[in-house]
Structure 1
């Protein structure tokens, strides 16, 4: 009996040592992976799928781990209600973009709730190339349109014009379909787009050049969607001082705030992206990307995957942005580059003077770059929260600085200005080697959606140059 007990005790000790070693190895691999516990558990579920015996045996452990780390399963997440608040109050005359110079020889068409032309869809058929369409402030219900002019200016006047889809869409795609022209659109709100293919967008941009100023995209299945240019990229999208929020389909499908297909160029400045439902705040397949002085914050209740993704690479400048990942994220990486394979001749990422925040307590990755890129330059970024960089190729880092939560003024309310400074948070001027890449910021984001020029050179790392009180 004594020998039996001795053998049993040794077996228990061996099992305990093995369990401890396995736990330590698992913890080490988890820390090295840059993934959140939820992602790793989802992967384990996927690997066990189709093996009922293994699933049954592992179920208690999986349940314990998910409870411990607050990581619901895919099925449980699909049942979580994505709360979409009402849109903000319609902006008044003082809150919209001022009119720009009238194109020479342009005819002005006026749409108003009580005027001769009351429907936007009607003026979309009447307007000719080079005209100006002015839409008086007000709510326009179920008023969808297809725009096919070669050149057109469309702007809300006297305040924002709110387009409420109310179950209607143009061509089964969007509130507006803009096709193969040069369009300037300002002061329009796109709200509530739905379509049977689950890609109902505020705008479907199908080629040409589109510039947006002071527009709002709220509670659409997709905020703005652009088509792919075939065979060669030629289109351009410019987004200025606009807001994209609460894009959502249902519990199992992507709802991107901004989805850009294969086109020549994307430029985004002074804009506010937040609260995407499972999809990304910005996803761009463009060959040239310039993302400057924006706020990309998923915030409480958000369920975005990537905050910023360039799935096919290209040349991307990410300068002076506030980018935050929420605990409810569907993906551990904040910024992703090349995840779906590189498509363009040049694939280089420049990421500088950003404030990158990870609110997930159990890990994550600030930057994930797939193998095959032309290299990454990261300079003067402020990193807050757990995580690091996962870059498979050449990475050049210049003066990226980590900060603790107490170094910030009020991070729980997305106020990521430095509460105090030190020598380590000082901006480091870049050598001539990097100046051609335009990595030095000359402005900063100002909430809710605009920018302010800097008075001189930047003095602090990160996106915000406000000196502590």
Structure 2
């Protein structure tokens, strides 16, 4: 309530329970000092939505962990971002019903950098670790999203989605649906990510594009320099591109591990140098260490 537009709010490291808030400033920076700030919902939620509701404007948030939000609508989030532009850096979203949830404002922009999302779960299981609605832009860079349950690790309806150098992994006990989904298409640039599907998933598709119908506008998916790991087998697919639109598809220089169908099963597009390797090509795949085991590792086929 005291902060004015343009202020920097510094919060001392520590645990704050039930301390929820709505921010309506036009421009604000909030950052932890002296270590992590842990915000535990403890049965509270701002406007029955989230631990923090960011109404609109330009926000930068750094060093906060958001934990345990539950609401009547079963979509309690660490942050509910409604309008404007939000940059979240070095934040954690744990054990909420939804990790970070946006509105559907077509002008909104969301940037998440070096954030962690894990174990966010609704009672009915349809949770997502990170969900971007029909906003203008999502940029996810250097984040770790893991241990989803039924819902997706990252779901974006943004007109433009840049998913760069992230780790999206089910890991032990995780059973996400899609690891990465663009349900309405758009322009999606997916570069330099590690994306792993566990044996326990209910959904055989690792990356999905257009499954809920395409919105008007350009449709393009660039899948480049990623490592895609399938541990489910059977009818698994590394990539599915739904029919119904002309999609510019390029899949180049991706490393594939597992029995899932080849990328080319997604349909027409440019496919180049997407080798398949054995699990032994990685340092310790059993413990989810996908660094190269040896520079001399060769494709399994």
Corresponding position: 1:288 with 2:136 = no
Question: Could you say what secondary structure the match of 1:412 adopts?
Answer: helix
Q: How does 1:155-166 map to 2 (within 5 A)?
A: 155-166=31-42
- Match in the other structure for 2:292: 418
Question: Could you say what secondary structure the match of 2:174 adopts?
Answer: coil
**5+ residue gaps in structure 2?**
none
Cα distance in 2 for residues equivalent to 1:384 and 1:423? 13
- Kept in 2: contact 1:368–1:390 (CA 8 A): no
- Match in the other structure for 1:180: 56
Question: Could you say what secondary structure the match of 1:224 adopts?
Answer: strand
Cα distance in 1 for residues equivalent to 2:46 and 2:146? 26
Q: How does 1:243-322 map to 2 (within 5 A)?
A: 243-250=116-123, 252-322=124-194
Spell out, residue by residue over 1:186-243, the C-alpha distance to the aligned partner (whole angstroms, 9 max, x if none). Answer: 00000001001000000000011000000000000000000101xxx21100000110
Cα distance in 2 for residues equivalent to 1:287 and 1:393? 22
Spell out, residue by residue over 1:4-48, the C-alpha distance to the aligned partner (whole angstroms, 9 max, x if none). Answer: xxxxxxxxxxxxxxxxxxxxxxxxxxxxxxxxxxxxxxxxxxxxx
Q: How does 1:183-202 map to 2 (within 5 A)?
A: 183-202=59-78
Cα distance in 2 for residues equivalent to 1:165 and 1:211? 22
Spell out, residue by residue over 1:141-168, the C-alpha distance to the aligned partner (whole angstroms, 9 max, x if none). Answer: 0000000000000000001110000110
Higher Cα radius of gyration: 1
- Match in the other structure for 1:377: 250
Cα distance in 1 for residues equivalent to 2:247 and 2:272? 17
Corresponding position: 1:147 with 2:23 = yes
Cα distance in 1 for residues equivalent to 2:293 and 2:16? 45
- Kept in 2: contact 1:297–1:307 (CA 8 A): yes
- Match in the other structure for 1:467: none
Question: Could you say what secondary structure the match of 1:137 adopts?
Answer: strand
Question: Could you say what secondary structure the match of 2:280 adopts?
Answer: helix
In the superposition, the TM-score normalised over structure 2's length comes to 0.96
Higher share of residues assigned helix:
1
Q: How does 1:43-54 map to 2 (within 5 A)?
A: none
Q: How does 1:374-413 map to 2 (within 5 A)?
A: 374-388=247-261, 389=263, 393-413=267-287
Cα distance in 2 for residues equivalent to 1:370 and 1:357? 21
- Kept in 2: contact 1:236–1:266 (CA 8 A): yes
Q: How does 1:78-157 map to 2 (within 5 A)?
A: 125-157=1-33
Note the C-alpha offset of 1:424.
6.0
Cα distance in 2 for residues equivalent to 1:286 and 1:241? 20
Spell out, residue by residue over 1:244-283, the C-alpha distance to the aligned partner (whole angstroms, 9 max, x if none). Answer: 0001112x33110001000110001111000112110000
In the superposition, the TM-score normalised over structure 1's length comes to 0.62
- Match in the other structure for 1:170: 46
Corresponding position: 1:238 with 2:111 = yes
Higher share of residues assigned strand:
2
Spell out structure 1 runs of 4+ moving beyond 6 A. Answer: none
Note the C-alpha offset of 1:391.
5.2
Note the C-alpha offset of 1:387.
0.8
Q: 1:301 to 1:424 in 2, by over 3 A?
A: closer
**5+ residue gaps in structure 1?**
1-124, 426-469
